[in-house]
Structure 1
Amino acid sequence: MVTVTPNPRRWWALGALVASMLVLAFDSTILNVALPTMAGQLGATTGQQQWMADAYVVVFAALMLPAGLLGDRFGRRRMLITGLGVFLAGSVLGSLASDVNAVVAARAVMGVGAALIMPLSLAVLPAMFTPGERGKAVGMISAASALGMPLGPLVGGFLLDHFWWGSVFLINIPMAALGIAACLLLLPETRDPAGPRVDAVSTALTATGLGALIYAIIEAPDRGWTDPLVLATFAAAAVLLTALVLRERRTVRPMLDMTLLTHRGFLLNTVAATLVMFVLSGLMFTVPTYLQAVLGQDAFATGVRLLPLSLGLLVAAKSAQAAVVRFGARAAVSAGLVVLAFAALLGTRTTDGSGYGFTALWLALAGLGFGFAVVPAMDGALGTLPADRAGSGSGLLMTLRQVGGAVGIALLGSLLASAFRDRIDVTGLPGPVAHTAGESVVAAHAVAARTHSAHLAASADTAFVHGMTLVLLVCGIASLAAALLAALFLSDAPGVRRTGPRQAPAVAAPAGDAGQ
């Protein structure tokens, strides 16, 4: 077996990968704190805010697997640089956007770039590091992702308080440019021409099927769940995604290896990780608006007040492996999900007069639960797979996690929008004005300011908290259901484990290592 020849510049090259992942992690949370401000200045409804968040996530999820295969075929460094360039271009478009549709288009372009960056940042590691060094390298990349999460709201809040809302996109430009320069100067080129080819039909089915599903969920509260267009779109999504599954099952070397879901350990751990992303995405869509619109915090203060969630996550992520060693994966995952459920159900006690202290408590608990559940769940999912399927397993796991996040934003955001519209009191307002006030709590506060209606502002706050309570209730129930599944069916037995990281020649890292 050919061993990796250590490159004297490999740790500098790792800096390029860390910069690339930091860009993604940073952007994953910076928009959450910006959405209320953007909603006010662009006049965006709750549904449009969902699209600004989901356009990125849907494209990211749909293109992650084919993007990794493009790197195998055309060169991972080349495609990683391409991804950073596309992400930079999308950020420029976002900073120049003047309406909601332009922001959604820019976010979709950024999703294309992110789909290239995520798998390829990990896929180049086997060609640069020996098996003994690889764990440290992966840890440094993971640390960059963890660091970006709390920094996003803080930096985003500062920019929003001092500049226009487009600055939250503009900040990505120097970071992406730095990543491109570092990749050009430091990264070796690797490829795997023997890897599976990109299946254009499966890629199209994934993108259109997920897009149709998210569209139907987001539009349903406004149009009605029985609206012919909504029902037709749900039906189209079902047909497209079913066709995708059937096609992938017949393909000899599928991009999306659905047979991996027949491994019980992989399936249950993947379900747990996906449900956790569903819950976290819903929380991150809802809580910043509560902090800004209801509690009256500015953007930077909102970023600061989201820190308990990120800090809880970081503490748990650092301690999760020790918990698995001492108590077993089943206990760690189950306990994490129970803590997450408790945090969400505790959050349902929030009122428009609760103040921040109570919110900080359940946010910190949610972060702890998230970290203790998702880290061992992801490790357990991949640990049940044989070495020759680790790459396809990691790709499927990351894709399903992204889908969970997209559906979380769409479904929980739609629940919030419906509950808000049903509860807000717009008595006495003209029809068009009443409709505007019912679009979002930000819009309602804008109408209340113009009409000098303290009653409307108070009603908007109460209606939003009511909607948030329902969102948190669903999050709690989903977490409890996942905890029950984990406690009943997860096994602490290692199953089929990789005996060690595979070694690869310096010029051809195997595609199977992507995403590890």
Structure 2
Amino acid sequence: MKLEAKWVALWVMTVGTFLVVLDSTAVTLALADIERDFGTDSGIEWVFTAYIVALGVTQLASGWISDSFGRKNAFIATLTVFTVGSGLCAMAPSLPVLVAFRVLQGLGGGLLIPVTTATIFETFGPYERGKAMGLWGIALTVAPAVGPLVGGAIVETVGWRWVFAVNVPIGGVGALFAWRIMTASRPGGHRSLDVIGLAVASVSTSALTIGLSEAESWGWLSLPTVASLAIGLGGVAWFVIRMLRRSHPLVNVALFANRTYALGVVTSALIMVTQMGRGLFIPLELSSTRGIADITVGFVLLPAGIGLGAFMPFGGRLTDRFGSRGPVTVGALLMGLGFALLSRLGPETDLWFIALALTIGGIGAGIGMMSPNIVAMTALRFDEVNQGAGLTSVARQIAVAVGVTGLVAVSAAVEDTPFESGDPVTQAAIDPFNAVFATCAFVMALVLVIAQWLPGPKWMRAMQDARSAEQP
């Protein structure tokens, strides 16, 4: 691929990823309007949950799909399915139909992240992958930050259906550009699809995600929760054993035997949990507890998104030169400081202080968030990249589901009495959020310790030379 074309292709993939990630956060501010339009008072959470579950199902098969059909074809197909699903969501006549179309949307969106990761590692040389991953990482991290602002603005001006409809022209143009610009990759060989393994993994990861998502409302010891978690954990254990025994597994879990890959995935997952926690609880605190308008909440979050996006390419270039130990250490310190400041909020705290704390954390995420993912993929051989990208996405999603559920449990444990909208804002109403952010600060301290075992510049140079020699 020509120099100019591959960078244009990167931006096409970045836009596609941005749409998928943005949709998962922007839609949260539309839920109240959707509930009101459809005249229902239950089941609205499935608009969000169904999408997340569907994302995980296709991520399991991403390696097989890319190997069988090539990454260009996989990218175009997944962006097309996501775009069609978005258009159908915008026209949904009822809540059950909307949930069904959200599943279709998620089935398309689930492939974009692992396919794009693998494509970057095939297209770009070992010495420029960090820069490319840093630019692409803007989509992964800025989209959740601006999602509330975009979603709030769309809902308040033209209505919730446009949260989905806006994806259609952008996704259509993106698929067309991908068809014209991206270079077709060589399929990795038509190995048979493990249908049984995929079915069991899909059911078990879906059950695990649903059980963790609904445990607070169902009750942790209720039959639906216990059954969902038992099916999920049992199915995942069976799936792992099956994958270890197969010569051509659907997901190569044996990659976790690679120490650097495993450390990178674990570090990336821990950082992602805290970022998702921030993205969930800050809007809740500002909007539901403090009564701040949705669009104002978006503006409070915006500086963090700008800082994150500005420093993400810088973090990628640092990783190319020095490995991930330094960038993750600096990033964890800044993210930990940001969460520590957020854990000290009170009823009278000014919005500028909250925005400052978020911006400090956003800059830290920009420097350190993509770095462990870069070294994890660099640690793999060229023929392991497809499998590694899919496994990383699945592991990260499971970690986020478990981690965010844990943060919700922390909040519930600290909450003294339920806060009702319109009640005076007291310290007791703020304390559950402070506890969540203190927990995130503790997780960042753990990341800071793990970072010292991540590879430094000597390892990075040696691995870049090795990968450069083996790349076709």
Indicate whether 1:115 and 2:110 are aligned: yes
CA contact (8 A) 2:63 2:386 kept: no
Residue aligning to 2:22: 26
Q: Of residues 103, 106, 125 in structure 1, which corresponds to 2:101?
A: 106
Between the aligned residues of both structures, percent identity stands at 26
By how many angstroms is 1:147 displaced?
5.8
Aligned partners of 1:47 and 1:408: how far apart in 2?
23
Change beyond 3 A, Cα 1:291–1:154: same
By how many angstroms is 1:205 displaced?
2.5
Aligned partners of 1:114 and 1:237: how far apart in 2?
22
Indicate whether 1:294 and 2:289 are aligned: yes
CA contact (8 A) 1:386 1:497 kept: no
Q: Which amino acid aligns with 1:118?
A: I
What does residue range 203-282 of structure 1 map to in structure 2 within 5 Å? 203-282=198-277
By how many angstroms is 1:396 displaced?
1.9
CA contact (8 A) 1:37 1:165 kept: yes
Q: Provide Cα deviations, 1:167-197, integer angstroms capped at 9, x if missing partner.
A: 2111111111212333344445444151544
CA contact (8 A) 2:311 2:366 kept: yes
CA contact (8 A) 2:210 2:228 kept: yes
Taking structure 2 as the reference length, what is the TM-score of the superposition?
0.84
CA contact (8 A) 1:33 1:303 kept: no
CA contact (8 A) 1:286 1:413 kept: no
Indicate whether 1:485 and 2:450 are aligned: yes
CA-based RMSD of the aligned residues comes to: 3.6
Aligned partners of 2:43 and 2:335: how far apart in 1?
26
CA contact (8 A) 1:46 1:413 kept: no
By how many angstroms is 1:367 displaced?
1.3
CA contact (8 A) 1:248 1:256 kept: yes
Q: Provide Cα deviations, 1:237-295, integer angstroms capped at 9, x if missing partner.
A: 11101001101111112232222212222222211100111111121112122222233
Aligned partners of 2:310 and 2:105: how far apart in 1?
30
Give the secondary structure class of the aligned counterpart of 1:306. helix
CA contact (8 A) 2:34 2:160 kept: yes
Change beyond 3 A, Cα 1:224–1:281: same
Task: For structure 2, list consecutive stretches of 5 or more residues without a partner in the other structure.
Answer: none
Q: Which amino acid aligns with 2:371?
A: P
Task: For structure 1, list consecutive stretches of 5 or more residues without a partner in the other structure.
Answer: 425-440, 446-453, 505-516
CA contact (8 A) 2:381 2:467 kept: no
Aligned partners of 2:449 and 2:121: how far apart in 1?
37
CA contact (8 A) 1:36 1:292 kept: no
Residue aligning to 1:354: 349
Residue aligning to 2:68: 73
CA contact (8 A) 1:68 1:116 kept: no
Q: Of residues 353, 369, 376 in structure 2, which corresponds to 1:374?
A: 369
Indicate whether 1:423 and 2:417 are aligned: yes
Give the secondary structure class of the aligned counterpart of 1:256. coil
Structure 1 stretch displaced more, 295-304 or 318-327: 318-327
Give the secondary structure class of the aligned counterpart of 2:407. helix
Give the secondary structure class of the aligned counterpart of 1:281. helix
| Count of matched residue positions in the alignment of Structure 1 and Structure 2 | 468
Give the secondary structure class of the aligned counterpart of 2:159. coil
CA contact (8 A) 1:277 1:408 kept: no
Indicate whether 1:458 and 2:424 are aligned: yes
By how many angstroms is 1:415 displaced?
4.7
By how many angstroms is 1:458 displaced?
2.4
Give the secondary structure class of the aligned counterpart of 1:243. helix
Change beyond 3 A, Cα 1:342–1:176: same
CA contact (8 A) 1:61 1:402 kept: yes
Q: Of residues 427, 437, 440 in structure 2, which corresponds to 1:475?
A: 440
Aligned partners of 2:80 and 2:65: how far apart in 1?
16
Q: Which amino acid aligns with 2:27?
A: L
What does residue range 329-340 of structure 1 map to in structure 2 within 5 Å? 329-340=324-335
CA contact (8 A) 2:63 2:387 kept: no
Residue aligning to 2:463: 497
Q: Which amino acid aligns with 1:423?
A: T
By how many angstroms is 1:481 displaced?
2.3
Q: Which amino acid aligns with 1:469?
A: N
Residue aligning to 1:344: 339
What does residue range 376-415 of structure 1 map to in structure 2 within 5 Å? 376-413=371-408, 415=410
Residue aligning to 1:431: none
By how many angstroms is 1:161 displaced?
1.8
State the structure with more CA Rg.
1
